[in-house]
Each structure stands twice: as C-alpha cells, then as structure tokens.
Structure 1
Amino acid sequence: MTPARAPFTKILVPVDFSPASDEHIAAGQAVEVDGQYIEFSPSSVRSVVLAADLARASLGTVILLHVTPALNYSTMYAGNLSVGLSSQVLTDVHEAAQKTSKAALEVIAHRHCAGVQVVIEARPGVAVSVIIEESEKKGADLIVLAASGRSRVARFFVGSTADRVIREAICPVLVIPALHE
C-alpha cells in the first residue's frame, strides 16, 4: 500500500495587477515596482494567501503566474497610420513586461508566502491559454483563481477567464469571489 500524499502540493495562482490609482498611492496601498506603482486586486491577494496556507499544510509549492498581453503583430494600427515594429522591439517589450511582472510577484510572495516554496512565472499570451498550459506543464494539483468581479452582462459579452479555466483545466479550480466594496 502506498502512503497517502497531500492532495495539493503544487498550487498555481494566476495573479493580476494593474497600475495603481492616485488614491491608492496616497493611501500607501500601492507597491512600487521598477519605478511604477501597481496594485493587486483584493481577490488576487486572497488567492495568494489561501494558496500559501494550503501549501504550508501540505508542504507544497505555490506557483505564482502573471500573464502579460501578447504583442503578436509586427504592425500596430492607429487610424489610417500603421507603424511597423521590429521583432527586436517586440522582444524587448516582452522582456521588460516579464521583468516587471516577476518583480511584482516577488513582492506579493514576500508579503504573503513566508515559509512556502514559491515559483515565479510571467508569460505573454491569452490568460486562459497560459493558465491552462502552465498548470499542465507544472503538474498543478490545484488552481486558485480570483474572479474578475465583472457583471454578468460583461461576462456574457467578453467571457470569463474563471469560467473557461474551470471548463478546461485538468485539475480542480478554486475560484475566489471578487470583493465588492
């Protein structure tokens, strides 16, 4: 008989953040990363805290993931004006976004994942696809995902990352509801 193992030893947590508002900066609620102020959504913070607690209980690992927008096209359009971007410029933009994203994830890991092994990942792409790919690549036992907090109407028209991850993931998905303050 093989010994039972902890059910959640690899926990993937997609973490979203955005530029901080002046109000959050003034209140000391923003984090400075590479000369920029950012803020994490309360639901993302709750996701990280819960994942860290689960990982502590199972002696597991938390995998923090941030997905940056992909610049897949070498031409960007502005009305009738098109500006071509070289592949080197696109590479530089992706590398800068990855560096800033990893620095932001280091901040949240330092604040909320004490005593837990943490892996930091940042990749460009479509959020749903990257989350599913990373969960499979890392062998995640659980995905802890913050809900966006958009209205039902907005989710109907633009879809919901959480809804799609729930349907497509091969491991359990725990969705943390958005806080409405």
Structure 2
Amino acid sequence: MTILCASDFSLSAEPALAAAAAIAQRVKGQDLLLVHALDLLDPALARLDLDVSRDEAEVRLGEAVARARKISGGIVGSAIVYGSAASAVTELAELRHAELVVVGSQGHGAQPFRRLGGTSERIAQLLEEPLLVVRDAAPFEAWVIEGRPLKVLLGIDRTTSWDAALSWINRLRGAGPCDVIVAQVYYPADERRHYGLPPGHAIDRVDAEVESLLVRDMRERALLSGSGHVQFQPVLGIGRLGDHLVDFAKRQDVDIIALGTHHRHGFARFASVANVTLHYARASVLLVPPERVVSTVKAPRRILIAADLSPRSGRTIAHGLSLVEGRPDADVVIMHVDEQMHADPEEALRKFVPAASVERVRIIVARGADVARLVCTEAERIGADVVCVGSHGRSAVARTLLGSIADQIVRECERPVLVVRSKES
C-alpha cells in the first residue's frame, strides 16, 4: 500500500513530507512515494529548459527522499509527473491505488478574500482517495518520536458520510495513541423537532436536554477502537456548520480535523463543511470520501415495535422480540398510536406479548393522526437501534390510493427499519 506525498519544494511542503513519513513509520505496511509535478503550461517553466528543470527536480526529490527515510525507516520512492499539480497528483494517486495523499498548505484563515483556494483545495475537489492537508508537522513527529497522542476532532452528523473518516481514525489509533473529540454541530429548534421535544428553547443558548440525547446517539454511532481518550461534544450552532467546526477546533487546539466529504462543484462547494474547514482551519485537515468500508455496528439493544390492535401485530411483536433474544439487558418498547380512542389499548397489546417477555417490555400509547411521524419521533427520542413495523401487504394500487404507514416510516425514519410482512407477495 502507498502513501503519496506531493511536494512543490516550498516551505509548506516540508511539514507534509515529515507528516507523511511519520504516518508511514507508524502505520505498518505502507510505502511512501514523493511526487513533484512539472506543469508544462506554467509560464515560468516555459522560459526554462525542460531537461534542466527535470534534472533539478530529481536532485531535490532525492534530497527529500533521504530526509523522509530518516523518519519512516522504510521504503521511500519518488516520481515526477507532468501537468497541473492537482490533475497530475490525482491521476497518479488513482493509478497507484494510494491509501492516502498528503499535501502541505498554510491555509487562508487570515486572508478571507482568498476564497478560490490553492492547489490543496483543487486536489480535494478531484481526489477520490483520502487527503491529509498538513499545516504543522510537529504533532506527527511527536507522535512517532515521543509517543505523544495526536489530538483529533471528528466532525459527524446524522448521515453516514463520516464513516470512512472514522475508519481512518481507527487505523491511526491502532498505530499509535490518538485522543479523539467527536463533535456534532446542532441547532436547538431542529433537534427539538427531531426528538419530539416541545419547542420554545432559545436558539442561541445551550440546550442541555438536546445535548444529552445527542451524546447518547454519538456514543452509539461513533465506535472507536485503538488507544487514546474519547470525548463526545455537541456544539451549539447558529451560522454555518464549517465555521463552528473551525472555531471549536481552534478552541480545543486539535492537531487534525477529520471529515467525510462529498464532491461538490460550482457554487455549492463554497458552502460545504469540508471546503470551509479546509480553507480556514489552522489545524491539519483529513478529508475522507465515501468508500467501501466494513462498517461496525453494535448488536441491537433497544427495539421500538410499532403495533396496531389487529391480529397481525402478534407477528410483528414476535419478530421484534427475536432481535434481542438472549439479551436480558435489552430494552423493548411497543408503541401504539391510538387514532380511534380505544378503551384500553395497552391491555389489548399485552395479549400479544409472550409471558416470558412481559417484564422486559414497555408499552407506549400515543394520540394523534400522523402515525408515521409519531413513530419516527419516538424512535429518535428513545434512541432505537431498530424500528420494527408490520405491513398488511397491500397491492401497489392500494398503496397508491390509501398510502401505507409502513412505507412512510421506511422513507422518513433515520433508524434501521425491519418491515414484517403479514401477506405473501
């Protein structure tokens, strides 16, 4: 496997070289390839003899290889590519199946009008491999030489876009200690709606009730392995997500900000969290695009079963209970949304619960017309690992005319949903 480090021989390239060599030394099985791009369309290069420029680049690459070997202690190669730095480095990374591309950048935090970005930002737009943009090599060198933990901020949200970034952090933690802060920017009004909490909290004040639910969910989703401390921190948001992450990273004095990325183009990229962070952050930035990673999830421990009072509910409840069979610590909640004001729906539902499971089951009865929304909200409030719903197996025409609560839950719920069919297809 290859770590590719691009160098233009500038002052900002040296920290990238040292960081790439340090990672290659720690993460075993990684070769290091140092790359320099000669852009034949560059007016400055056009005035020089190409052979002279290439010979000079080879000499400087050789010197860089010697410096890198002292740190990594492993195999270090070099290559000269032709074309614009962003395009040439991206193409070589794909050709060599690079596991990580490392570049240097000073960032533009003190120059807000330089918004179009430099080479590192253009590489980030094109690259399909993980990219580490290094501001300072000292934390990486201390990680290798002194065993000092790297301090990493992992930015997450409700999507799975950060799964690959989490996977890379776990690789680093397997190679050496990394203290990780898992951070999620939140907006009180949105989160209160999401968790089904009453509105009215001030948008510019910390919401302790929301933060406790966020920390619970962050702990269950961000499964970290390896060595080092872990902290889960909701971050109150008012403006752009990226600005809040950059400010929080600065206050926490982190070494690396790690983010998942989506490749955005045109005006959309200027507001993306990754682009804002890469442009303004003073810390090094690790951007990891989605990839085919083996995800890690815990066995389900908290099940929400949505049930009506029809005979089919027994089958739905049985499937829900089977998910936590042999797990005495599991929490099973049966939820019924009573639209018709039945006399005692809880008693009717208990008849579907096997005697051996009665003690572990809680029954919730809600009132309202929007059944799917109430179920999805309750799933978030209790932090359900799986939502189990029954389907009456209507035909496509019937679903179109009447709608389907199960279909709506599948579309709207952000938790995994198990649909139990009661009619053969």
- Does residue 164 in structure 1 map to residue 404 in structure 2? no
Deviations 1:73-112 (A, max 9, x none): xxxxxxxxxxxxxxxxxxxxx5xx3x61111122222x26
- Of 316, 319, 323, the residue aligned with 1:54 is 323
Instruction: Report what 2:132 is aligned to.
Output: none
Q: What are the residue-to-residue correspondences of 1:62-77 with 2, within 5 Å?
A: 62-69=332-339
Partner SS state of residue 315, structure 2: helix
**Match 2:349 to one of 86, 89, 105:** 105
Secondary structure of the residue aligned to 1:51 is helix
Corresponding position of 1:122: 365
Say if 1:47 and 1:145, in contact at 8 Å, map to a contact too. Answer: yes
What are the equivalent positions in structure 2 for 1:84-95 lying under 5 Å apart? 94=341
Distance 1:12 1:104 in 2: 18
C-alpha distance in structure 2 between counterparts of 1:112 and 1:5, whole Å: 30
Count of aligned pairs between the two proteins: 129
State whether residues 13 and 47 of structure 1, in contact with CA within 8 Å, keep that contact through their aligned partners in structure 2: yes
Task: Give 1:6 deviation, angstroms.
Answer: 4.1
* Unpaired stretches in structure 1, ≥5 consecutive residues: 19-39, 71-93
Matched, 1:150 2:420: no
Structure 2 residues without counterparts, runs of 5 or longer:
1-224, 227-295
Q: Distance in 2 between matches of 1:12 and 1:141?
A: 8
Q: Which has the higher contact order (CA 8 A, sep 6+)?
A: 1
SS of structure 1 residue aligned to 2:352: helix
Aligned CA RMSD, in angstroms, stands at 2.4
Aligned pair in 2 of structure 1 residues 176, 113: CA closer, same or farther (>3 Å)? farther
> Counterpart in 1 of 2:185?
none
Q: Which amino acid counterpart does residue 363 of structure 2 have in structure 1?
A: I
| Residues 305 and 388, structure 2, Cα contact 8 Å, conserved in 1 | yes
| Alpha-carbon distance, 1:15 to partner | 1.0
Q: Secondary structure at the match of 1:7?
A: coil
Secondary structure at 1:56 match in 2? coil
TM-score of the two chains, using structure 1 as the length reference? 0.63
CA drift of 1:150 comes to 2.0
Deviation string 1:99-155 (CA, Å, 9 cap, x unpaired) is 61111122222x265276111101111211111111111111101111022221110
Say whether the 8 Å CA contact 2:392–2:423 is kept in structure 1.
Answer: no
Once the two structures are superposed, what CA deviation does each residue of 1:43-100 show, in whole Å capped at 9, x if it has no partner?
x222211111212244412110111117xxxxxxxxxxxxxxxxxxxxxxx5xx3x61
SS in 2 for 1:167: helix
Q: Bigger radius of gyration, 1 or 2?
A: 2
* CA–CA separation in structure 1 for the residues paired with 2:371 and 2:412: 13
One-letter amino acid of the structure 1 residue matched with residue 336 of structure 2: H
Q: Give the letter aligned to residue 53 of structure 1.
A: S
Specify the alignment match of 1:29 in structure 2.
Answer: none
Q: Cα gap change, 1:7/1:67 in structure 2, threshold over 3 Å: closer, same or farther?
A: same
Please tell me whether the aligned partners of residues 13 and 48 of structure 1 are also in contact (alpha carbons under 8 angstroms). yes
Tell me, yes or no, if the aligned pair for 2:334 and 2:362 is still in contact at 8 Å: yes
8 Å CA contact 1:7, 1:58 repeated in 2: no
Separation of aligned partners in 2, 1:57 and 1:167: 31
CA-CA distance at 1:166 after TM superposition: 0.8
CA change 1:153–1:61 in 2 (3 A) is same
Indicate if the aligned counterparts of 1:61 and 1:118 stay in contact, CA closer than 8 A: yes
Is the Cα contact below 8 Å between 1:13 and 1:64 reproduced in 2? yes
Say whether the 8 Å CA contact 1:67–1:123 is kept in structure 2: yes
Which of the pair is proportionally richer in strand? Answer: 1
Contact in 2 for aligned 1:145/1:162 (Cα 8 Å): yes
Judging changes above 3 Å, is the alpha-carbon distance between structure 1 residues 15 and 107 closer, same or farther for their aligned structure 2 residues?
Answer: same
